[in-house]
Amino acid sequence: MWFKNVIFYRLTEAFEYTQEQLQEKLIEHAFHPCKSQELSRYGWVSPCHLLDDVQAHQVHGMFMVAARKEEKILPGAVIKEAVGEKVAVIEQEQARKVYKKERDQLKDEVILDLLPRAFSKFQQTAALINPAAGWIAVDASSHKRAEELLSHLRGTLGSLPITLPDVNQSPSAVMSHWLEQHDSIPQGFEVLDECELRDNVLEGGVIRIKGQQLEDEEFVAHLEAGKRVVKLALEWDEQLKITLQEDLSIKRLKLSEQLQEKMADEAAEDEIAQFDADMVQMGLEFSKLFPALIEAFGGEAQRP
């Protein structure tokens, strides 16, 4: 159940819900499948299939929540073809031209007709809330997907004062400096063999490097030519391997061999107990990683 991607948000006010209070709120906005004429649905589900009706799972003061999205699959080509057939019939039988407004009405009719027979695509997104440490981590590869969950949580609770971390130094500039001056890398971080560079001048100029020593002359030449690091593979505290983006989001999070061995030695026989153990360990690692990232980029910017 470890997150594969992470976007951190800072809680700007205390999150003071008990598990019972949070559960009561989430159950009011629980997920229900699409009705025959609906294009999509979004709602809360259990973060673990073994927990059944528990939408807010709490362990050691942290909450795990999960939302499911259902979208009906209606290929644009199928809709276009069906609308075209209806237009052709009207123009032939009534000897007149069908214009845009009527085409749009026909398109709505086609969608309503196809919806009951459409297949569904499901997507589940989880979030870990640590009120004591003051952060929320969302398992999402894009800010759009993370904001979708947080917007639903905000609507569920009535308010959710959060913000993305704002640091004093440009992550892109700092990561570039790390690769220029390897002794500047903060303690606890180790640069791995993968990064992405972007050209400041040439739009669309991107270089992806994988499996190569990042101190090679060829690589350093790219930095000297003005290219900047926008993604960098790192190992944190010999526990986690991550690809850090310039917006401080994390992709491709993996456990180090050392942490995998530790967790294997401490594995629980019961699946729910193992879920709880994973959740606690992940929360502990995030509670160390998040402040370390903030500090690495000059600390949080002071807000007015």
**Distances from the Cα of 242 to the Cα of 22, 111, 180, 282, 285, angstroms:** 31, 42, 20, 13, 12
C-alpha 167 chain-centroid distance = 20
Most confident of 127-141, 171-185, 225-239: 127-141
Cβ contact 222:179 at 8 Å: no
Q: Name the strand (E) or helix (H) holding 233.
A: strand 228-236
**Distances from the Cα of 279 to the Cα of 49, 267, 272, angstroms:** 14, 13, 10
**Is the confidence at residue 264, as pLDDT, over 70?**
yes
* CA diameter of the chain: 79
Cβ contact 249:147 at 8 Å: no
* Residues above pLDDT 70, as percent of the chain: 95
Tell me the two tokens of residue 122: 């499901």
Rounded Cα distance, 181 and 178, in Å:
5
Angle 277-7-136 (CA atoms, 0-180°, nearest 5)? 60
Res 202: pLDDT: 64
Rounded Cα distance, 270 and 292, in Å:
33
**Mean pLDDT over all residues of the chain?**
90
**Is the confidence at residue 115, as pLDDT, over 90?**
no
Res 37: pLDDT: 86
The structure's pTM equals 0.87
Cβ contact 254:236 at 8 Å: no
**Distances from the Cα of 155 to the Cα of 29, 126, 128, 284, 299, angstroms:** 9, 17, 18, 28, 31
Burial 135-159 (b: 16+ CB within 10 A, else e): bbbbbbbeeebbbbbbebbeebeee
pLDDT band at 247 (very low <50, low <70, confident <90, very high): very high
Report how far apart the first and last C-alpha atoms of the chain are (Å, whole number): 38
Conformational region of residue 226, where left means phi above 0, alpha means psi within -120 to 50, and beta covers everything else = left
Beta strands per DSSP E along 74-166: 119-130, 135-138, 162-163
Tell me the two tokens of residue 227: 């290219």
Q: Indicate the burial class of 35 (C-beta count within 10 angstroms; 0-12, 13-18, 19 or more).
A: exposed
Rounded Cα distance, 152 and 150, in Å:
5
Res 231: pLDDT: 94
**Distances from the Cα of 64 to the Cα of 12, 26, 274, angstroms:** 19, 12, 14
Lowest mean pLDDT across 81-85, 126-130, 252-256: 81-85
Res 293: pLDDT: 96
Res 29: pLDDT: 96
Q: How does pLDDT run across 182-224, given as a tens digit for each residue?
A: 788 999 999 898 988 888 766 667 888 787 666 666 677 777 7
